[in-house]
Amino acid sequence: MTTQDSVLAERSRKFGVAEGDEGIVRCDACPVLCRIRPGRAGACSRYANENGLLIRTDPVVLLAEAVEGGQPLVAFAENAQDWNGSILPAERVFVTGIGSGTTYPDYKPAPFIVSSQHEGVDTVTVVTEGIFSYCGLKVKIDTDRHLGPETAAIRVNGEQVGHVTTAEYGSQMLSIGGVRHLTGGSKKEGNTTCETMLKLGNGEAVELTIDGGHGVVVQAGQAPIVDGKPETRMRVGCGSATIGIFAKQWQGHVDEVIVVDDHITGVLTEHQAGRVLDMKPTGIRVRGRKSTPGRYFQVAQPGLGWGGTDITDPLSIIQKIDPGTAWPGMRLLMTSTTGEDSLYCILDENLMPVEAEMPAAVRQVVERIGENCEPSLCSVLFVAGAGGSLRAGVTENPILLTRSVQGGTTRVTMGGAPVYVWPGGGITVMVDVLRMPRNAFGYVPTPAIVAPIEFTLPRELYLACGGHAEEIVPVEEVLRAHGGQARIEGGAAENPWPLRRG
């Protein structure tokens, strides 16, 4: 038996059990417990039976720093069988959970428990693929366009996969997935939710429809497409903020500016910014509920028009123009918060706004609003609870791991990407999917999402936590056994750790 054969046999024993004498192997990597015949794959295609051995079908992903020149190492596995791991310097390699497999039920030690040195400290990294039922995506869509009412259902192929949640500054927020949609509804709802999360997590585009709202194509790191139209700009700020930023640049070029916004529509001369500049009142009153001087809520309904309202004719939000204050020839600018929509008018003898050619100086400020908008993007954050049984693959006394994570002495990464650990109980983590290697997510048909997770802590602490001491393997040995088949990635440049330290 070659070294590689014995490595495969050992992995097979970790993930499953041979059954009968027909070469069938039972996959133990999730509760589905597929019985897989030779040459076939299990229900999730992540495991297969190769000549009577259970293999993980995707390669394990290693993050590797460049040896020279600052560039990450690239795949090198042309003669994988002969490779002895010497190309990768062990101190510059991090074993991720992607492709590592799952040792279910979790009282079995995790697939890789790797010892290495980090900044002179003996550390242990426990590496596994977690199976998460409690998980979801928070999606941030940089647009002020109205996608749908708060709490409205989000659907894919008619199945509810999430809901619209509280909007943030310049962004609409969606909550996708979660345990209720995965397991609390019909089988179809669960499978559609799982597939939607899997695609979004792996950076694919998904078309969502929102009850009482619009259709939006979402893809991490890309601009959203709302009802077939790609969004380009994230608003510079609300209407009031826009007035505050640009008031001085308008002074002397226009007499009044109205910045149309679904949240706060700003009126320059009435706003504190205009007052501080001693701008003359113009007597224009816009519709909606006055919050404070020059700041109006609810000037229109939310929509896909100007500034996230349903307005296509901006003059429709002018409720009245006071003839005792306004004057013929008065110069009025109306603009949206992205500068994409704008209208320049001059009041005629009857104090009616009449569209006129926008002077260059005014145009310049409108263009500057656009220049100050950031590109509209979709961000996808994966949130999962790792405070359950997978902890037993790390330690025999899981509460000690939880406390250590909460106390910051155990570092959690997902595919080598940094996570935010939520305060309070459990191990609830959140990660930006774009900081993870590509195709980091998988699924099992229970349904649940499979995601990589790594716990790194000082060796001494690992032993004190009741860690599986007998399973610790030096990183050099892991590289010798698995480096030849591994997928090598450089890791996202913005990740401060584990490759870019100090």
Select 34 or 167, whichever has its Cβ closest to ligand SF4.
34
Beta strands in 356-481 (DSSP E): 378-385, 411-414, 417-418, 420-421, 428-432, 442-444, 448-458, 473-474
Q: Which is nearer to ligand SF4, 131 or 208 (CB)?
A: 131
- According to DSSP, residue 339 is labeled S
Which residues fall within 8 angstroms of residue 145, CB to CB, at 6 or more apart?
Answer: 172, 214, 226, 231, 303, 304, 308
**Tokens matching residue 159:** 């199945």
d(CA 116, CA 20): 40
Which contacts of 273-277 are long-range, i.e. CB under 8 A and separated by 24 or more positions?
A: 273/243, 273/244, 273/247, 273/248, 274/243, 274/247, 276/247, 277/247, 277/248, 277/251
Say how far apart CA 446 and CA 102 lie, in whole Å: 15
> Looking at beta carbons only, is 220 or 449 nearer to ligand SF4?
449
The minimum distance between CB 110 and ligand SF4, in angstroms, equals: 15
- For ligand SF4, the closer of residues 47 and 132 by Cβ is 47
Give the nearest distance from C-beta 31 to ligand SF4 in angstroms.
7
- Nearest distance, CB of residue 46 and ligand SF4, angstroms: 5
Cis peptide before 437 (omega within 30 of 0): no
Q: Which residues here bind ligand SF4, judged by CB under 6 A?
A: 27, 29-30, 32-34, 42-44, 46-47, 444-445
Nearer to ligand SF4, 95 or 444 (CB): 444
Which of 43, 22, 23 has the alpha carbon at shortest distance from 34?
43
Nearest-approach distance from CB 298 to ligand SF4, in angstroms: 51
Is the Cβ–Cβ distance between 46 and 442 less than 8 Å?
yes
Minimum separation from the CB atom of position 99 to ligand SF4 (A): 13
Least separation, in Å, of the C-beta of 488 and ligand SF4? 25
Instruction: Please identify, using beta-carbon distances, which residue of 34 and 488 lies nearer to ligand SF4.
Output: 34
Sign of CA pseudo-dihedral 295, 299, 301, 303: negative
Instruction: Give whichever of 55 and 264 is closer to ligand SF4, judged by the CB atom.
Output: 55
Give backbone dihedrals phi and psi of 186, rounded to 5 degrees, phi first: -75, 165
Nearer to ligand SF4, 43 or 225 (CB): 43
Residue 59: how many other CB atoms lie within 10 Å: 17
Least separation, in Å, of the C-beta of 439 and ligand SF4? 16
For residue 83, the minimal CB distance to ligand SF4 (Å) is 28
d(CA 41, CA 52) in angstroms, rounded, equals 12
End-to-end CA distance of the chain: 43
